[in-house]
Amino acid sequence: VEVAVSEQFVPAYTELIIAGHVNHLHAVDFGLKEFRSLNDMEFLREVIPDLKRHGDDIEANVAFLLLEPVRLTDALQPRETSADGESSPPPSMAITFPKLRMLITTRRIGERKWNPCVEVDLQAGRDYELMVLRGGFSARAIKVTEASEMRRHATGRFVAGYEPQTTELNLDLLVAQLVKSLAEAQGKADCMSIPSKDLDLIGAPLRLEHLDRSAGLVIIRQELPGIVVTNSTQDLLTYEVRGPFTDWAPPRTIQPGERQEYRVPYPLTWRRRLPTTTLFYTLPLGREASCRDVPTPGLVLVRDEIKLKEPAPKAAQIESPTVIK
């Protein structure tokens, strides 16, 4: 199944945010010390030297206002296909904030009213690449990677009604601190990697397998995941499987550490003959079943996870499949 999402969704959604007057955030609203530093008076006195004349009994607040919808476009600096033509770069896009305003207000400590002081209009954009992270057989995530330096431009002015004695504004220092805050915050957050759960389509799981961009669309392809049987024992593993409406397939033997994948759209019944008993299990669609002999012969389901900060998969949880009695 392929789902195409129009890139016009983001501009339309952010336009609604602006029209609904919910387009502002204060630096403290991010809950990160990297952004709280923008409110630091010692720092702001370097950005706005005129604040020095007010002494130490004032405080400041920095707010961000989105004034124009966010745009998604083709990347300005996309990677090129390799010289041999065998490897293509991942899909990329540019995310641009055409007009984001920083409003700096001040007040005397103890007062309630904030007084506008300086407003800075920012234009910012960056290229990003999209890729699918795979953790083992079942875990998936969408990773959004920065693919260029941030493109930025700032213009600032004192707000009408504020009468400065020193008209200097150090916008380069302000923008540099904002970029640093963004970089430090992203280094701590997992927001650039988005876990993707299987889509349940009338009881059948569909798993994320591919991402692409074309003609203003983000194309997401999800497929039936099948079933995997892994031999986690030290010996040859011989077993049989059957579907809901099929006979038993011929016995299958796999080496220690090897796996066998079944591209089927339904659960399988699994059978292993031992000298004194026969084991039966139901293998659910989309899962990896690991055959083990310790502590006792049996089958377990592996639930994979992805470390979102680094694409290193791990098998974190073990479940038991359904035993047929």
pLDDT digits (tens, 9 = 90+) for 90-136: 889 999 999 999 999 999 999 999 999 999 999 999 999 999 999 88
| Cis, peptide link before residue 295, omega less than 30° from 0 | yes
Q: What is the pLDDT of residue 19?
A: 96
Closest of 33, 56, 156, 167 to residue 104, by C-alpha: 156
Burial of 259 by CB count in 10 Å (0-12 exposed, 13-18 middle, 19+ buried)? Answer: middle
Cα separations in angstroms, 216 against 91, 120, 180, 226, 284: 12, 31, 31, 31, 37
Same domain, residue pair 160 and 244: no
Q: What is the pLDDT of residue 47?
A: 95
Structural domain of residue 237, as residue ranges? 227-323
Same domain, residue pair 40 and 162: yes
Quote the tokens at residue 80.
């090129």
Q: What is the pLDDT of residue 208?
A: 95
Same domain, residue pair 250 and 178: no
Total domains in the fold of the chain: 2
Same domain, residue pair 162 and 270: no
205 and 285 in contact (C-beta within 8 Å)? yes
Global confidence as pTM: 0.78
d(CA 312, CA 133): 9
Q: Note whether residue 126 is domain-resident.
A: yes
Same domain, residue pair 93 and 234: no
Please report which helix (H) or strand (E) contains residue 229, including its range.
strand 227-231
According to DSSP, the residues that pair with 230 across neighbouring strands are 259, 290
d(CA 177, CA 34): 9
Q: What is the pLDDT of residue 311?
A: 40
Q: Note whether residue 151 is domain-resident.
A: yes
Q: What is the pLDDT of residue 82?
A: 63
Same domain, residue pair 170 and 293: no
Same domain, residue pair 177 and 239: no
Q: What is the pLDDT of residue 84?
A: 62
Neighbouring residues of 275: CB distance < 8 A, sequence distance ≥ 6: none
The angle subtended at Cα 28 by Cα 23 and Cα 30, nearest 5°, is 65
Same domain, residue pair 22 and 166: yes
Q: Note whether residue 2 is domain-resident.
A: no
Q: Note whether residue 214 is domain-resident.
A: no
Same domain, residue pair 119 and 249: no
d(CA 143, CA 126): 16
Same domain, residue pair 101 and 30: yes
Same domain, residue pair 116 and 233: no
Given a cut of 50, the residues of the chain with pLDDT beneath it are 190, 310-318, 320-321, 323-325
Quote the tokens at residue 65.
């206002």
Cα separations in angstroms, 255 against 104, 109, 267, 283, 311: 67, 74, 23, 20, 28
CA dihedral 96, 24, 103, 153 (to 10 degrees): 0
Q: What is the pLDDT of residue 85?
A: 61
Same domain, residue pair 121 and 32: yes
d(CA 52, CA 226): 67
